[in-house]
Amino acid sequence: MSKLSASHGAHILVVDDDEDILRLLTMRLHARGFRVTSVASAEQALAHLSVDPPRVVVSDIRLPGRDGLSLFEEMRRTRPTLPVILLTAHGNIPDAVDATSRGVFGYLTKPFDSQVLLEKIDQALQLSAPSLPRDESAIPAPAGKSDDAWQSGMVYRSSCMADLMNEARMVAVSDASVLIRGESGTGKEVLARAIHLASPRARGPFIAINCGAIPEALLESELFGHIKGAFTGAGNARGGLFQAANGGTLFLDEIGDMPLALQVKLLRVLQERMVRPVGATQAQAVDVRLLSATHRDLDAAMAQEQFREDLYYRLDVVSLTLPRLDQRREDIPLLAAHFVQLITVKYGKSITGFAPDALEALATAAWPGNVRQLFNVVEQCCALTSTPLIPQALVQRALRVPTMEALSYAEARQRFERNYLVQLLKLTDGNVADAARIADRNRTEFYRLLQKHDLSPAMFRTEAETIADR
- The pLDDT of residue 7 is 56
Looking at residue 95, what is its pLDDT? 63
Same fold? 3-127, 149-321: yes
pLDDT of residue 161: 92
Q: Which CATH number applies to 3-127?
A: 3.40.50.2300
The total of other beta-carbon atoms located within 10 Å of residue 69's CB is 23
Nearest 5°: phi and psi at 181? -105, 155
Q: From the first residue on, what is the mean pLDDT of each consecutive set of 10 residues in the chain (470 residues)?
A: 51 89 87 90 83 87 82 78 79 61 74 81 69 37 55 85 93 93 93 95 93 81 81 75 92 92 90 86 89 93 93 93 92 89 85 84 90 94 89 90 61 80 83 85 87 83 50
pLDDT at 112: 74
| Alpha helices, H only, 181-331 | 188-197, 216-224, 241-244, 260-272, 298-303, 309-315
- Answer yes or no: CATH 3.40.50.300 is held by domain 149-321: yes
- Angle, in degrees to the nearest 10, between helices 356-364 and 114-127: 50
pTM of the model: 0.61
Q: What is the pLDDT of residue 378?
A: 94
The SS3 of residue 2 is: coil
Q: Which residue from 245, 140, 162 is spatially nearest to 201, judged by alpha carbons? A: 245
Residue 401 is predicted with a pLDDT of 65
Q: In the sheet where 289-294 sits, what is the strand order?
A: 206-210, 249-253, 289-294, 178-181, 318-321
**DSSP secondary structure, 168-220, as one string:** HHHHHTS---EEEE--TTS-HHHHHHHHHHTSTTTTS-EEEEETTSS-HHHHH
430: left (phi over 0), alpha (psi -120 to 50) or beta: left
- Spans of all domains in the chain: 3-127, 149-321, 328-399, 409-469
Q: Can you list the positions of beta strands (E) in 17-61? A: 35-39, 56-60
Select the CATH number that applies to the domain covering 328-399 from these four: 3.60.15.10, 1.10.8.60, 1.10.260.40, 1.20.1340.10.
1.10.8.60
